[in-house]
Amino acid sequence: MSRIETAFFEIGSLDTLAGGDTFVHRLDPRAKVVTTLIFICCVVSFQKYQLSALLPFFIFPAVLLTTAQLPVGFLLKKLLFVAPFAFFIGVFNPFFDQTILFHVGPVGISGGWVSFASIMLRFCLTISMALILIATTSFNGVCMALEKIGAPRVFTVQLLLLHRYLFVLVGEASRLVKARALRSFNGRGTGMTVFGHIVGQLLLRTLDRAQRIHLAMQCRGFTGEIHQMRLFRFGWHEFFFTLAWSAVFLILRFYNLSQLLGGFLLEFAQ
């Protein structure tokens, strides 16, 4: 539980990284959210057997990581933490799709392995961009941007409160597990009956804690509106950032840059 708790609470460090002062950090959140949404839509729109066409899309997260001066190792750890979800989604594809698409020497590569690799590539691209977005904007900034571009306020506020409630849930669960460990000996107190009681207590404790947090927010004047400490303005920098990268994504979507570059190199070598 302590390892899961540590890994989960490190997600809050993304909001700390969002306090940077680089060009990417200073951009209006709306520009980053819209650009990221266009990026994700282009990535997920490819067919399941397309691999080479996805590779050039790594340019965008690589440029943002460099420009925003984000710690690559920290983000890579977060990416690996959730990687098993994507892995178990696609790991059974080779068993169901055994049609041979091409050969690498004497080894035949089936469509299942290609689609599995495509799932993992899409996962790396989309999740890494979500992490970079939060690390350069903060979760509050993302929710505020969604509201500004037309998302219902009820949705954005619920999304923000859900994010905060998860930390309350994990904190209470950690305290309950530690309390049970301190009171257990010789295998006692570790059965399913005790586990059921712990789950019920966890629900009651988190609901009570969330109620106190809500009352504290109301006492401080919270009216359902998301506020940011830093003032943002959608200017020419944001306009050209969104326009330029959107054009790049559309070009990469309809033209396989890897294939074109490979064909050019083969002709040049001949």
Model-wide pTM > 0.95 = no
| Residue 96 in this model has a pLDDT that exceeds 70 | yes
Q: Is the four-CA dihedral 220, 222, 223, 228 of positive or negative sign? A: positive
Quote the tokens at residue 262.
């490979």
Most confident of 33-37, 194-198, 258-262: 33-37
| Residue 67 in this model has a pLDDT that exceeds 70 | yes
- Extents of the domains making up the chain: 1-150+233-260, 152-221
CA distance from start to end of the chain: 59
Mean of all residue pLDDT scores within the chain: 80
| Residue 243 in this model has a pLDDT that exceeds 70 | yes
Lowest mean pLDDT among 64-78, 154-168, 183-197: 183-197
| Residue 55 in this model has a pLDDT that exceeds 70 | yes
Lowest mean pLDDT among 127-136, 157-166, 224-233: 224-233
pLDDT band for position 182 (cuts 50, 70, 90): confident
d(CA 25, CA 124): 22
Q: Token pair 């409630």 is at which residue?
A: 165
pLDDT band for position 38 (cuts 50, 70, 90): very high
d(CA 186, CA 115): 48
The number of residues making up the chain comes to 270
Lowest mean pLDDT among 36-40, 83-87, 198-202: 198-202
More confident residue, 184 or 23: 23
Phi, psi for residue 232 in degrees, rounded to 5:
-120, 155
Question: What percentage of the chain carries pLDDT values higher than 70?
Answer: 84
Residue 143: which residues within 8 A CB-CB, separation 6 or more? 156, 157, 159, 160, 226
3-state secondary structure of 108: strand
* Average pLDDT score over residue span 90-106: 77
Range 230-233, long-range pairs (CB < 8 A, 24+ positions): 232/27, 232/28, 232/29, 232/30, 232/141, 233/28
DSSP 55: G
* DSSP symbols for 77-90: HHHHHHHHHHHHHH
More confident residue, 62 or 188: 62
| Residue 262 in this model has a pLDDT that exceeds 80 | no
pLDDT given at position 245: 92
| Residue 127 in this model has a pLDDT that exceeds 80 | yes
| Residue 39 in this model has a pLDDT that exceeds 60 | yes
pLDDT given at position 211: 82
More confident residue, 82 or 2: 82
d(CA 161, CA 226): 11
